[in-house]
Amino acid sequence: MASAIVLIHHVSLIVLPVATGSAGPVWWLITQSPLSVLFAGHESVIVFFVLSGLVVTLPLMKPSSDLVAYYPSRVLRLYLPVWGALALAAALVLIVPRDLAQVADDSWLATTNALSVDPGELLRQASLTSAQYDLSNPLWSLRWEMLYSLLAPLFMVAARACRRWVWPAGAAAVAIVLVGQLIGNSYLIYLPPFFIGALIAVSLPRVLELRTAEHRPSTATWAWLLTGSIALLMLRTLFSPLVEDGEPVAAALSALIPAGAAGVVLCVLAWPGADRLLARAVPQWLGRISFSLYLIHVPILVTLAFALGDAAWPAIMLIGVPLCLLAAEVFERVVEKPSHRLSRSVRRRIVERRH
């Protein structure tokens, strides 16, 4: 679901130069009201980080966990789909020329997306060490995913050490994000959400007990908790017209985003009602293709925008969204699933040779 929101977010960035004209009031209503949760691209990425902290930590906690096998397996799991996505992005740039005259000046399309393929920059982006990712913008987050993956065993040990003080440890992680926001340190901003996910992992038995506890929360309580978590997630966006970037209040509101993300994840884990929603066919399908959709949707949307011109945003939206979903299904089958299969096979072989 979060990956679909990222897709909608990038569609909105294409629409933005046109929508802020005569349709300004309508645009404001959509993007600065509670409806903005449908466009919460950055916030959805923080949800990804919390989820990664959870799902990467869980297997590391097993007695059978083997760090020697973990590292090559995890590296293959991330890098191979990334390389596939970059190959697609580079091919689209080469096939469909990108003329700045087709898009609005100083727009997201014009300023953050590649107009040509530079081999050296392609290699830097493929290594996930580049500071910018103009071939496929979402890859900026994979840089942090890879760094966390390398540090995950240390995060797991730290989370286990904090098992009895999960709430204070989570609050400390949010405080670190606040410091990072105040001083502009990306490491302090983006690594703590992974640690929060690791804290959820070491607390998972207690979290799941809430599903069957004798005095478990009511449906109404869960609904309020989820609503409150989403509110924390969106406070920075909702107050953006009143609070400028760089102000301490803006830093404080941004620091609450990981807390909101953690709340959403906890509600989904512990609320049986979430199962009934997320077990449906469409959410399950989106979950299966979510990583592929996240990796490849921007190059497809950007290529359409340069081919048709951003003034043709209705066509870009009507063609681009279904095309991205279809392409993600193909990419998941052709690239991601084989990569995952190879990753598991390498891990299994290393474990067998070591034991």
Domain boundaries, position 306: 2-354
* Number of domains present in the structure of the chain: 1
**Helix (H/G/I), strand (E/B), else coil: 37:** helix
Q: CB neighbours of 124 closer than 8 A, spacing ≥ 6?
A: 130
Look up the pTM and report it: 0.92
Whole-number pLDDT of residue 116: 94
- Give the model confidence (pLDDT) of 267-292 as tens digits: 999 998 888 889 999 999 999 999 99
Give the chain's mean pLDDT. 92
Going by C-alpha positions, the residue among 51, 72, 138, 52 that lies closest to residue 328 is 138
Whole-number pLDDT of residue 3: 95
- Give, for 351, the enclosing helix (H) or strand (E): helix 337-354
Position with higher pLDDT, 21 vs 139: 139
pLDDT interval class at 23 (50, 70, 90)? low
Q: What is the DSSP letter of 34?
A: G
**Helix (H/G/I), strand (E/B), else coil: 29:** helix
| Own/partner pairs, 87-96, CB within 8 angstroms, 24+ separation | 88/296, 88/299, 88/331, 89/114, 89/135, 89/136, 89/296, 89/298, 89/299, 90/117, 90/122, 90/135, 92/299, 92/300, 92/302, 92/303, 93/117, 93/135, 93/299, 93/303, 96/303, 96/306, 96/307
Going by C-alpha positions, the residue among 234, 241, 236 that lies closest to residue 253 is 236
The 3-state secondary structure of 302-316, one letter per residue:
HHHHHHHCHHHHHHH
pLDDT interval class at 25 (50, 70, 90)? low
- How far is CA 40 from each of CA 6, 152, 193, 236, 251, rounded to the nearest angstrom? 7, 26, 17, 11, 17
